[in-house]
Amino acid sequence: MIKTIKIACLLTGILTLCVDATAQQSNSVEHEQHKTQNDKHHDHSGHSMSQESGAASDHLHEHNEDHSAVDKTHEHAIDHSQHSDESTEHGDLHHHHHMDHDHIMDHEGTMIMGQNIDKLPSSCKSISEEKEITVRAGRKYAAKFPGTMFAFDQQEWRVKPCSKVTFHFINEDQVRHQFMMHGLPKYLYKYGMFHLEVTGPKTVSGTIIVPGSDDTFLVHCDISHHMEKGMKAQLVVGKGGENIPSIPGLTPYNINDIYEAENLPKVSDKAEQSAVVRQITTALTKSDTQNYLMILIGALVGLLSIPLIKKMMPSKKTEN
Amino acid sequence: MPNPILIVILIFYLAFTAVVAQASLLLPKTIKVDRAALTSEPPCDPKISPAWREAQVIDGVKIEASPGCNPDNPAWIAAAVKGTNNISMDTLMKTGLSPDTIIKTDDLDGDGDPDRIIIKLEVMELNGKSPDFPGILPTFDIAPGVQPGAWVFAPKTSGMSTENFESVRANPLLRLPAPVIRVEQGDIVQIILENTHYFPHSIHLHGVDHPFAHKEHGGNDGVPQTSEIELMPGERRIYEFQARQPGTMFYHCHVQTHTHLSMGLAGMIIVEENRPNNWLQTLNIGGGHVRHPSVAIREKFDQEYDLHYHAMDKELGDIIKKYNDPRLIARDMNQRYDITDSTEDYYTINGLSFPYSLRESLIIVKPDQKIKLRLLNSGGETIAIHTHGHHATITHYDGVEHNPVAQIMRDVFDIAPAQRLDLTLDTTNDGKHSYGEGDWLIHDHREKGITTNGMAEGGSMSSIVYTSYLGEDGLPKTSHFGIDLSNYFTQEFWQRRVPIWQDLDEVASLGSPAGQAINIDITTQNYLLNALYGLAAGLLIYFIFAKREYFKQCAMAAISRVRSDKGSKQS
């Protein structure tokens, strides 16, 4: 570090001398204005994961009267008819269901959290429309997005403000997946979350009432690296808000990997008649060789331009 | 005509050289790192309740006291003993486990304990790259700020992979090592692997009596070259066995084993002797103290500990911190990583390195006790575990009992990769079994085993500590010797930025010498440098501008030369 400073000092010093000298030579003293462009624009927009929190206060007391309603949904929510008879032998089926106001879970871990079937957001006077959305999840939906491993069948759903939306979440894999939504008003949704979770192949359904203002909500699977590897989408309410980053096929990644061409075997390699030609071409495609080649070309250009420079020098002399 | 800029530069340079020259008359003074400048952590994880240390009964499950700093969540133990299908919803909610993680049913032999056991494991990534922000998640520290990229078999969880939406720290169930599995001799056991990871995986039951192929579930040995194809992401596979022999065994992923094992897909599996009413702690999450030992162990021992030694290569783990695209990770791991050129960097005991090992993997003993230690080495090299103050007896190699007459006592235990040793630690103070009470180290005596990425003292070091040497907080009492471990609980220590001997005396005679220059911090240095670069660039532009006439002339001359050349050739 210190050395760099020293060198920089010296360089600048030398340069100043040169400038001084030339300034004395030239007759006209001219002023130059430098513009330093400091507008390195850091775009933080991508990081904001819709942290809107609706009203500031949490009205947690509101849902005491809703037991009956929740119980009813509980009956509907978990569809036992779809039990896969996969070789998982359960012996006896202890159906122990967990229930508090916003957390319903069955014996297989199928879960509905933060469901809201009747509480209107403060920004809504009435429910604008009732909508049902089927969401499929699984590895096969990642096939159309190279570089991902899990995905939802769609990456964006659009609903009207104040609409009541029922999501039918169909997990087509044999592992857990989640349909987890963030950024909902916290006075209606604990932690601002609505969360469906199910081990496939199986379906779980849950309902929410979306807020009355235009906004975009993150939807993802929070199992380690499922979102990072493609299981990410957004729910657009009305005209929507800011896009969520790194949704496959929809929005760019904030941070991209670096890709380089691989020297993979090709059928055409085999087809080539001459082994010598093949050797040369492979040698040429190697990045090292390419680098050296470029240096060589540069050197040649330099050599060729020597006469030109030579011719320039005497011309200067003659003029002087 | 003197240039004012030139003068400023010259003065600056002269002042600079003068300071350097003066400094060289006296050696640079010592700079002591201020404790307040360090990112310190409390020795015990404050998120873990001290109430977890106490002996307690949950849902009828007796849980032994575990006076260490950060003992296992008692709810985990209750769920592991009764099965997640048999515990109260209240307890289940305290575990974070899925309700179908451990299913225990059917007392087939009528001896009072369940004999059909289903265990569901998922594969989880720790400290992997995110495409959304410049960081990794879910984070898991093996020592303060030390976060190797890793994969683990985790008990099937419910909900998020992180503590909560605001945190990137991993859910406590997602951790190194893979959980210790305990089943009973004769149990019909299904280990169901739900591959939640983005790579193919499998489970190989090393040492456990299992059929090569199961009549219903097919290949059962976990080897993609012999018994089955790789289990792809999103798929599930059942491994079923009914072990006839007891013993300390090993399970691990057998897909691309040379990388997947080192990445952390390895755990202990123990087959316990069949006894009546033998409700086992099916999972010992995080290893360490077994707080609900089997009937057979309680017959012969006062305590039981699972000690899983592991080693990881930083360069291998860094691959998942470098790329997000699974294809690039696969390329680097499968085609570019060369294990024959690799070195291990992280040494862990039960997933953690010193000083975190003190939080979880202390062997806390009293005099005149018999303690069962089960050791597994899942690292790539033989380790040499030394017990300070004790000679322990090797009773079993690889799960098989050694001839009792020929059993030997040692104080260094060499354990080959994948090997298991069962030891009996006797704390009778006779100068042979034990030299008396104390805070006795237990560590790998290959000296690199007590380092974390080459920084000592770290690695898989822990202690056999007598309760008389155990503090209120569950850590060994060391302060009465003037020992202060707080530097180890800082991130900067592991970044190699703390001169470790600076506090050994008042004057810090072995502290860090100041740099031989003006002592300006890096940001100021950068500012100055940038200013200088800016000045240089400005002057260069000015220089070109001032001499533009000359350049123009040169160009004109060159062009006329070329033209005249052509003319002369033509003529």
DSSP annotation string for chain A:
-HHHHHHHHHHHHHHHHHHHHHHHHSS-----------------GGG------SSSS---SGGGGGHHHHHHHHHHHB-GGG----S---SS-----EEETTEEE-TT--EEES--SS---TT-SS---EEEEEEEEEGGGGTTSTT-S-EES-SEEEE-TT-EEEEEEEE-SSSEEEEEE----TTTSGGG-EEEEEESSEEEEEEEE--SS-EEEEEE--STTTTTTT-EEEEEETT--SPPS--TTTS--SS-----------HHHHH-S-HHHHHHHHHHHSHHHHHHHHHHHHHHHHHHHHHHHHHHHHHHHHH-
Asked if A182 reaches chain B (Cβ–Cβ under 8 Å), the answer is yes
Nearest to B132 among A11, A23, A254 (CB): A254
Contact B93 A98 (CB under 8 A): yes
Residue of B198, B201, B540, B551 to mutate when probing chain A, most A C-beta within 10 A: B198
Residue of B90, B543, B553, B562 to mutate when probing chain A, most A C-beta within 10 A: B543
Q: Which residues contact B92 (CB under 8 A, 6 or more apart)?
A: A98, B75, B79, B84, B99
Contact A30 B538 (CB under 8 A): no
Contact B174 A224 (CB under 8 A): yes
DSSP helix/strand/coil, B153 = strand
Domain borders along chain A are 48-83+97-237, 260-304
DSSP helix/strand/coil, B387 = strand
Percent of chain B residues topping a pLDDT of 90: 80
**How close does chain A come to B387, measured CA to CA in Å?**
38
**How close does chain A come to B106, measured CA to CA in Å?**
7
Confidence of residue A9 (pLDDT cuts 50, 70, 90): low
- Mean pLDDT over the full length of chain A: 75
pLDDT of A44 higher than 90: no
pLDDT tens sequence across B419-457: 999 999 999 999 999 999 999 999 999 999 999 999 999
Tell me: do B308 and B386 sit in the same domain.
no
pLDDT tens sequence across B39-56: 999 999 998 999 999 999
- What residue in A sits closest to B92 (Cα-Cα)? A98
Asked if residue B288 belongs to a domain, the reply is yes
Asked if A268 reaches chain B (Cβ–Cβ under 8 Å), the answer is no
**How close does chain A come to B179, measured CA to CA in Å?**
17
Q: What is the pLDDT of residue B306?
A: 98
The stretch A105-121 carries a mean pLDDT of 93
Asked if residue B531 belongs to a domain, the reply is no
- What residue in B sits closest to A97 (Cα-Cα)? B89
- What residue in B sits closest to A32 (Cα-Cα)? B542
Pick B284 or A301 by higher pLDDT: B284
Q: ipTM of the assembly?
A: 0.85
Contact A228 B128 (CB under 8 A): yes
Last residue of a domain, one of B467, B485, B503: B485
CA distances from A245 to A139, A185, A211, A213, A256 (A): 21, 21, 22, 21, 12
Confidence of residue B149 (pLDDT cuts 50, 70, 90): very high
Which of 135-154 (A) contact B at CB < 8 A?
138-139, 146-150
**How close does chain B come to A16, measured CA to CA in Å?**
6
Nearest to B546 among A4, A22, A311 (CB): A22
pLDDT of A76 higher than 60: no
The stretch B142-165 carries a mean pLDDT of 96
Q: What is the pLDDT of residue A309?
A: 77
Last residue of a domain, one of B485, B508, B543: B485
pLDDT of B244 higher than 80: yes
Contacts of A97 in chain B (CB under 8 A): 89
CATH of the domain at B423: 2.60.40.420
Q: What is the pLDDT of residue B515?
A: 80
Which of 501-540 (B) contact A at CB < 8 A?
515-517, 522, 525, 528-529, 532-536, 538-540
Asked if residue B525 belongs to a domain, the reply is no
Contact A174 B194 (CB under 8 A): yes
The stretch B501-530 carries a mean pLDDT of 81
The stretch B263-280 carries a mean pLDDT of 97
Q: What is the pLDDT of residue B565?
A: 63
Asked if residue B496 belongs to a domain, the reply is no
Confidence of residue A268 (pLDDT cuts 50, 70, 90): confident
Confidence of residue A27 (pLDDT cuts 50, 70, 90): very low
Asked if A315 reaches chain B (Cβ–Cβ under 8 Å), the answer is yes
Tokens of B513: 């010498």
pLDDT tens sequence across B171-219: 999 999 999 999 999 999 999 999 999 999 999 999 999 999 998 888 9
Contacts of B197 in chain A (CB under 8 A): 224-225
CATH number 2.60.40.420 given to A48-83+97-237: yes
Q: Which of A66-70, B330-334, B359-363, B521-525 has the weakest average pLDDT?
A: A66-70
pLDDT of A94 higher than 50: no
Contacts of B174 in chain A (CB under 8 A): 224
pLDDT of A74 higher than 70: no
Asked if A265 reaches chain B (Cβ–Cβ under 8 Å), the answer is no
**How close does chain B come to A192, measured CA to CA in Å?**
10
Q: What is the pLDDT of residue A320?
A: 45
Which of 84-103 (A) contact B at CB < 8 A?
86-92, 94, 96-98
Residue of A175, A204, A320 to mutate when probing chain B, most B C-beta within 10 A: A175
Q: What is the pLDDT of residue A42?
A: 41
Q: What is the pLDDT of residue A297?
A: 87
Alpha helices in B463-571 (DSSP H): 491-494, 522-546, 548-570
Contact B546 A23 (CB under 8 A): yes
Q: What is the pLDDT of residue A89?
A: 37
Q: What is the pLDDT of residue A96?
A: 46
**How close does chain B come to A125, measured CA to CA in Å?**
30
Q: What is the pLDDT of residue A87?
A: 38
Q: What is the DSSP letter of B68?
A: S
Confidence of residue B518 (pLDDT cuts 50, 70, 90): low
The size of the A-B interface in CB pairs under 8 A is: 245
pLDDT tens sequence across B320-341: 999 999 999 999 999 999 999 9
The stretch B258-270 carries a mean pLDDT of 97
Q: What is the pLDDT of residue A113?
A: 94
Tell me: do B325 and B422 sit in the same domain.
no
Contact B546 A19 (CB under 8 A): yes
Confidence of residue A5 (pLDDT cuts 50, 70, 90): low
pLDDT of A71 higher than 50: no
Confidence of residue B20 (pLDDT cuts 50, 70, 90): low
Asked if residue B397 belongs to a domain, the reply is yes
Contact A175 B236 (CB under 8 A): yes
Q: Is the peptide bond before A121 cis (omega within 30 degrees of 0)?
A: no
Query: Cβ–Cβ contacts within 10 Å for residue A258, how many?
Result: 8
Residue of B14, B86, B100 to mutate when probing chain A, most A C-beta within 10 A: B100
Asked if A256 reaches chain B (Cβ–Cβ under 8 Å), the answer is yes
Contacts of B545 in chain A (CB under 8 A): 30, 32
Tell me: do B383 and B331 sit in the same domain.
no
Tell me: do B312 and B379 sit in the same domain.
no
Contacts of A17 in chain B (CB under 8 A): 6
Domain that residue B395 falls in:
356-485
Asked if residue B438 belongs to a domain, the reply is yes
Q: What is the pLDDT of residue B222?
A: 94
- List Cβ<8 Å contacts ≥24 apart for A302-307: none
pLDDT of A64 higher than 80: no
Contact B532 A8 (CB under 8 A): yes
- E strands, B199-354, where? 204-206, 213-214, 218-219, 236-241, 247-252, 266-272, 283-284, 288-289, 303-312, 346-349
Pick A57 or A313 by higher pLDDT: A313
**How close does chain A come to B363, measured CA to CA in Å?**
32
Confidence of residue A34 (pLDDT cuts 50, 70, 90): very low
* Whole-prediction pTM: 0.79
Q: Which of A80-94, A217-231, B249-263 has the weakest average pLDDT?
A: A80-94
Q: What is the pLDDT of residue B67?
A: 95
Q: What is the pLDDT of residue A40?
A: 39
Total domains present in chain B: 2
Q: What is the pLDDT of residue A263?
A: 87
pLDDT of A18 higher than 90: no
Asked if residue B233 belongs to a domain, the reply is yes
Which of 190-209 (A) contact B at CB < 8 A?
191, 193, 195, 197, 199
Which of 229-248 (B) contact A at CB < 8 A?
232-236, 238
pLDDT tens sequence across A231-263: 999 999 999 999 999 999 999 999 999 999 888
- What are the two backbone dihedrals, phi and then psi, of residue B476, each rounded to the nearest 5 degrees? -60, 140
Confidence of residue B116 (pLDDT cuts 50, 70, 90): very high
Percent of chain A residues topping a pLDDT of 70: 60
- Mean pLDDT over the full length of chain B: 92
Q: What is the pLDDT of residue A56?
A: 36
The stretch A4-33 carries a mean pLDDT of 49
Q: What is the pLDDT of residue A127?
A: 96
Q: What is the pLDDT of residue B21?
A: 55
Contacts of B540 in chain A (CB under 8 A): 15
Q: In this structure, are residues B50 and B472 in contact, taking their beta carbons and an 8 Å threshold?
A: no
Q: What is the pLDDT of residue A33?
A: 40
pLDDT of A265 higher than 80: yes
Tokens of B339: 């294990």
The sign one gets for the Cα dihedral B139, B141, B146, B152 is: negative
Q: Is the peptide bond before B177 cis (omega within 30 degrees of 0)?
A: yes
Q: What is the pLDDT of residue B549?
A: 85
Asked if residue B81 belongs to a domain, the reply is no
The stretch B111-134 carries a mean pLDDT of 97
